[in-house]
Amino acid sequence: MFVGISNGRYSNCAKAYGYAIVFSKVITLSETEYDERPIARLDPDWVKGNLGTHTYTRTGQFEVIDGNFAAKISTAVPSRVHSEKEG
């Protein structure tokens, strides 16, 4: 399953939402026809512990790739929050 097309990049959700990105080359683009071919794939193994690769973008100066990592989130509410003035 592929979702989220953006300039020839797809988010591959076969294993999980945002698992990998497939880069495709547009072969035909007209008002009546469209064809593309996958040319590369970015799986989450580019960094240890990554569960998914959701976004890739670049400019002339930057290349940005995001990942999905498991994190423990505390839902406990502190009994009292101290301001800096209180110490």
String of DSSP letters for 43-69: -GGGSTT--EEEEEEE-SS-EEEEEE-
The owner of tokens 């591959």 is 12
**Closest among 55, 25, 53 to 38, alpha carbons compared:** 25
User: Is 73 part of any domain?
Assistant: no
Its domain, for residue 35, covers: 2-68
Mean pLDDT, all residues of the chain: 77
Q: What is the mean pLDDT of residues 26-38?
A: 91
Mean pLDDT comparison of 5-9, 31-35, 49-53, highest-scoring range: 31-35
Residue 46 within any structural domain of the chain: yes
Q: How many domains does the chain have?
A: 1
Domain membership flag for residue 75 = no
Q: What is the pTM of this model?
A: 0.60
- For residue 1, pLDDT beyond 80: no
- Give domain status of residue 12, yes or no: yes
As a whole-number percent, the residues of the chain with pLDDT over 70 amount to 67
Q: Is residue 84 part of a domain?
A: no
- Determine, yes or no, domain membership for 43: yes
Tokens 């100066």 appear where?
A: 61
Higher pLDDT: 26 or 15? It is 26
Token pair listed for 33: 């026809």
